[in-house]
């Protein structure tokens, strides 16, 4: 008689539960990155033009700076 040992824990990573958890993790990471972007834009817009110039930025660069802070791009 043949005996097959199947490790069902290994298959758990491919199941619906694992895929759902991956989706939730991806959404949480996306929300966290968006929060960093929004907070950065808000804080930089609160600065005066002189303060931004002291930092070496122009007001038109704020979205690009916030993208770099949040997404690293």
Q: Please give the residue that has the higher pLDDT: either 6 or 54.
A: 54
12, pLDDT greater than 80: no
Where are the domains positioned within the chain?
Answer: 31-73
The rounded Cα 37 to chain-centroid distance in angstroms is 9
pLDDT score recorded for residue 9? 58
pLDDT score recorded for residue 27? 97
**Backbone region of residue 2 per phi and psi (left: phi > 0; alpha: psi in -120 to 50; beta: other values):** beta
User: Which pTM was predicted?
Assistant: 0.74
Query: 20-72: per-residue pLDDT in tens?
Result: 999 999 999 999 999 999 999 999 999 999 999 999 999 999 999 999 999 99
């Amino acid at each position: 008689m043949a005996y097959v040992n199947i490790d069902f824990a290994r298959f758990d990573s491919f199941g619906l539960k694992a895929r759902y958890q991956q989706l939730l993790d991806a959404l949480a990471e996306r929300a966290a990155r968006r929060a960093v972007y929004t907070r950065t834009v808000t804080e930089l817009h609160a600065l005066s033009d002189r303060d931004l110039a002291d930092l070496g930025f122009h007001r038109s660069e704020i979205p690009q700076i916030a993208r770099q802070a949040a997404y690293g791009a």
